[in-house]
A and B are shown apart, each in its own frame.
Chain A
Amino acid sequence: MMKIAVCVKSVPDPEYYEKITLDPATKRLVRDGIPAVIGEADRHALEAALALRDENGGEITVVSMGPPAARRQLLEALAMGADRAFLISDRKVGGADTLATSYTLSCLLAKTGTYDVILAGNESADGSTAHVPSQLGVWMGIAHAAGVVSVSSDDKGLIVTKEAEGGLAKYRLRTPCVVAVTPKANEVRFMDVRNILAAKEKELQVWSAADVGNMDESFMGLAGSPSQNGEVFAIESSKNCRMLTGTESEIADQIVSIISGNSKGGEEA
């Protein structure tokens, strides 16, 4: 019996990031109309949870911090096979940096139960700092590993293989622990129709900070965040592309001449 939690973040669909612009007046990001999804890494975290439950038995709890609409992504996580889900949604926790986000998630986890393993995506698709899992581990005072490419369990703990300089490094973590998985960790299974049908019947709670209780306001939301956002820039390429035209042979001549201009002496005759 393994008690497993999975952190799932609702993110704007990465397929649309090219369309993000900056409002010249307000200097804020315009991302209207971009649908929300479960980030890719979080799907792999869910899959890792399902695999651990297949092997050991147990229960999967999904936790999230986000706007009320993030409920839909939690419903989807239940349809993927999780057992219950909790969302904390409150102005007080909004505008959080990663320290405040991980604090809030640690409170939500503490409120909902005790866990042997907490899985997370290694990095979200939008903010993509890859901080939250490690910082969650610190708030909870437990072991954690990031950049994980494989997870399994033995009787002494969790075995994780993670990215390292020049290769991979294997560790055994004492449980409970937080494990941040990369998409390399597994292949996400197809959804099972029975899970999809059962999802609506499963427990899904949306809570305010007061519902969670026992939270220290000085670590919450924008006010509790040591890092702040200054100006935001949208990246447009500064390149001016010159198209090379002609026959294949003529194009090749031009390419060779550009290349030789760039690799003075470096290339073979």
Chain B
Amino acid sequence: MMESKKEIWVFAECSRGAALPVVSELIAKAQEISGGIEGSSVAAVILGGDSAAVSQLSGLEIAKIYCMQHEALKDYRCDVYAAALQKMVEEYRPEYFFFGATAMGAELAPTTAALLKTGLAAHCIDLRWNGERLNCMVPAFGGKVVSEIYIPNARPIMASVRPGILGGTPAGRSDSAAPELVTADASFLGEFDSAEEFLEFIPSQKKDDAVEDAKIVVSAGRGVSTDKSWENVKNLAAKLGGSVAWSRSFIDTGRVDDESSMIGTSGKALSADLLINVGVSGATQYTCGTEKCKTIISINRDPRAKIFEHSDYGVVGDAEKILDAVLRKMA
């Protein structure tokens, strides 16, 4: 077996020809970790070899881009992708391998880890190199608890990271040279017997201004129970140029029916500068998605609501009436 070269790999998940935002976050984190580990370097891994994504990542301060190109990689199939990653890991032996905990990453990372019989830290909120080991900060129990997961012996050390939580912008190249492009052998895929048949992609109707990227968010909980208060929430968000989000119980009210803008453990983690919670009680499963917001204002009619413990400013009052007053001031 070849000796490990201490490469830190980032899986560059692409959508419509571009690497997802979480890839930048992961590369920024990998650069930071690499700074603390002598002789280490950062590399991105692209399956399908999208040339637009390659040039997008080429401007970053990374040593290599590993690509595998094959028609079998055209549509995502978990077993094919995982076999491709296993092959690349066994050939090039990275020390670390990071994924975004996206829909794909949440399936592909554990599959790849199991094929490699290595450890994987799940949907981390941070990765911390302490000079000796990498502590992967994994939330559990609905976000009430965070555990340091580390992988002492098995390699590569794998972690998936929750999108939108790291922030950070990767360093661009200081020189004009491009990262080394390594094209991995894909010939084995010709005979690969996939047990998955891709049938179709159903795009969501929703606009894709993702709440996790929004700077200003107004979020509705079950306490937004009247048509007028819901209109107020949407109007306030529009006035502020922000996005609307909601709690899980708000979905139960029937005013919205999808989880694309739901906050929490099963939903999105926000990184907004300003969050306004309206009629949200503040369950752990909700507030773990709002920890990174800079300023939080919460409106709730119950003075003992837990949400106030997670807020900078609190208002005890009726959602509809308070928002009426705010909107009047802004008219």
**B174 located at the interface, meaning its Cβ lies under 8 Å from any Cβ of chain A in the complex:** no
**A47 located at the interface, meaning its Cβ lies under 8 Å from any Cβ of chain B in the complex:** no
A267 and B241 within 8 A (CB):
yes
Q: What's the Cα separation between A69 and B135 when bound, in Å?
A: 33
Given contact pairs A171-B77, A171-B196, A237-B310, A134 touches B274 in the complex (Cβ within 8 A): no
Write the chain B residue with the least CB distance to A266: B241
A169 and B78 within 8 A (CB):
no
Q: Which of B33-41, B64-72, B144-152, B221-229 contacts A (4 or more CB under 8 A)?
A: B144-152
**A155 located at the interface, meaning its Cβ lies under 8 Å from any Cβ of chain B in the complex:** no
**From A102, A132, A168, A232, contact of B145 by CB (8 A):** A232
Interface residues of A, dominant DSSP: mixed
B122 and A130 within 8 A (CB):
yes
With a cutoff of 8 Å between Cβ atoms, the chain B residues found around residue A97 in the complex are 119
**From B135, B216, B284, B322, contact of A262 by CB (8 A):** B216
Given contact pairs A17-B142, A131-B110, A266-B216, A167 touches B202 in the complex (Cβ within 8 A): yes
Min CB distance, A188 to chain B, in Å? Answer: 14
**B259 located at the interface, meaning its Cβ lies under 8 Å from any Cβ of chain A in the complex:** yes
Q: Which of A107-115, A197-205, A207-215, A239-247 contacts B (4 or more CB under 8 A)?
A: A239-247
**B326 located at the interface, meaning its Cβ lies under 8 Å from any Cβ of chain A in the complex:** yes
Interface residues of B, dominant DSSP: mixed
* Chain B residue total in the interface (Cβ 8 A): 95
B198 and A251 within 8 A (CB):
no
Q: Which of A49-57, A58-66, A75-83, A121-129 contacts B (4 or more CB under 8 A)?
A: A121-129
Q: What's the Cα separation between A18 and B283 when bound, in Å?
A: 8
B15 and A126 within 8 A (CB):
no
Given contact pairs A239-B312, A241-B314, A242-B314, A29 touches B202 in the complex (Cβ within 8 A): no
9 nearest A-B residue pairs (beta carbon): A227-B119, A230-B148, A226-B119, A143-B195, A129-B122, A252-B325, A226-B154, A138-B114, A131-B110
Q: Which residues of B contact A (CB under 8 A)?
A: 13, 15, 20, 76-79, 82, 102-104, 106-107, 110-111, 113-115, 117-123, 135, 138-154, 195-204, 208, 215-216, 239-241, 259, 265-266, 273-274, 276, 283-285, 287-288, 291, 294-298, 306, 308-317, 321-322, 324-326, 328-330
